[in-house]
Structure formats: structure tokens, C-alpha cells
Chain A
Amino acid sequence: DGGITQSPKYLFRKEGQNVTLSCEQNLNHDAMYWYRQDPGQGLRLIYYSQIVNDFQKGDIAEGYSVSREKKESFPLTVTSAQKNPTAFYLCASGTQLRTDTQYFGPGTRLTVL
């Protein structure tokens, strides 16, 4: 069953803690993306990766880090430097033919307590 999985679905974090959000895909897509969504705002790009071992900052990369050691996996770490991390985090991957045609995983809702 092909698709994009994200875990956990809900995550609670205390201030000052780093947390890592998982994103896995078995679609054989080269490109992967991380977005955050806040109420009343559009999706904002955090980081993206077009190939293994390479990634680029998006529009709001401060306070976040990523890795791309495997084609299937693109984890996102929300560090304590991110001032307002409570949001809905969405991972997406882009098709082989058109990497801008993006499909989303189910998302992780992060709440900082």
C-alpha cells in the first residue's frame, strides 16, 4: 500500500525540548517537503530535499533541522530555538515526473505545553 506516513499524529512537548517528527514514503519519490500550517494562514515551506544527502531551506527554516539519509525518509527536528512551534506539520513528496506535484501525508499536530 503506497503512500506517505507521518508519526506521531499528535505530539506534546515541553518548552526547551527538541522533538523529531517522522516522515516516510514508499512512492519512490525523489523530492520531499516539510510545511507548517497555522490557523488562517497558508502552508509555509520549512525545508525541502530533491535528492538524498541534500536539502534546502524554505521560507521559515529558523529553529528547524532536517536530514535526508535515505530516499524514503525525511525527518524534521523542531528545536528549542523555534519560538512558536505549536502548529500542524505536513510532509509531502513530489512525483518523479513532476516534482512540484506534491502529495501530503496525514500530518503531525505539535503542541508546546
Chain B
Amino acid sequence: QKEVEQNSGPLSVPEGAIASLNCTYSDRGSQSFFWYRQYSGKSPELIMFIYSNGDKEDGRFTAQLNKASQYVSLLIRDSQPSDSATYLCAVNPGGGNKLTFGTGTQLKVEL
């Protein structure tokens, strides 16, 4: 079983819609959770992090964490074509410095 799992996609949404990206993790002791955006050929860019159960909002982005169910999600409201990218979920499983990354979900926002 992979430690961090994401659906590879592509996930296609129309412009202006809400995009919902999901990530599940296997280690119940995981402490912190991150979402990165990666455009094709570029390096990952940190867009959200969340440490506590519940929702965390930053502009058009909302991260949702449910530790009991071991999933973390990212909602993108009012999706724009510029949001088209691969979104990587990363988890700190042990409370140290190391992150475990999922393989990413490709998002396509269509006009």
C-alpha cells in the first residue's frame, strides 16, 4: 500500500467551477500536510499547509483535513485556466523533517 495516494487524473473542470482534489495517507501518526502545485516542467510550489482537523482557507484555496478518516483534500473555488497543473499532496508521517509525496493529480480547467 502506498503511503500517500492520489488519483492521477486528469481531473477536468469547467472554468469557474470548484475543483476538488483528494489525498489519503496510511500513517495514523502523521502530523502535517501540504499541497504543492507543479506546472509542467517546473518545480513544485507550496500553496497550502494544514496541521489540525478541519478547514483552512487561503483565497480561492481551502484545505480540509480529516485525521480520523486519514484524508486531506484541496478545494479550488472559481477555477481558472491558470490553475491547470499537477497538484502534489505531501505528508509528514513521523513528526520529523521528512515528507512523503503522492504522485500527484493532474487538473485541467477548461474554457
Contacts and interface: CB of A to CB of B under 8 A. Distances in A.
Contacts of B90: 43, 102
A58 B104 contact: no
B32 A105 contact: no
A48 B43 contact: no
Contacts of B71: none
Interface string B16-48: 000000000000000110101000001111100
A27 to B, nearest CB: 13
Q: How large is the interface on B (under 10, 10 to 19, 20 to 34, 35 or more residues)?
A: 20 to 34
B101 interface: yes
Contacts, number: 54
B53 to A, nearest CB: 18
Contacts of A63: none
Q: How large is the interface on A (under 10, 10 to 19, 20 to 34, 35 or more residues)?
A: 20 to 34
A42 B45 contact: no
A85 interface: no
B61 interface: no
B43 A106 contact: yes
A31 B99 CA distance: 13
B103 interface: yes
A100 B42 contact: no
Instruction: Tell which of B46, B92, B99 has the most Cβ of chain A within 10 Å.
Output: B99
Contact of B97 (A41, A43, A44, A94): A94
Interface of B: 4, 8, 31-32, 34, 36, 42-46, 49, 88, 90, 92, 96-104
Given A94-B97, A99-B97, 18 more contacts: A40-B8, A42-B4, A42-B88, A44-B101, A50-B97, A58-B98, A90-B43, A100-B98, A100-B99, A101-B32, A101-B34, A102-B34, A102-B99, A103-B46, A104-B36, A104-B43, A105-B43, A107-B43
5 contacts: A100-B92, A102-B46, A102-B90, A104-B44, A105-B43
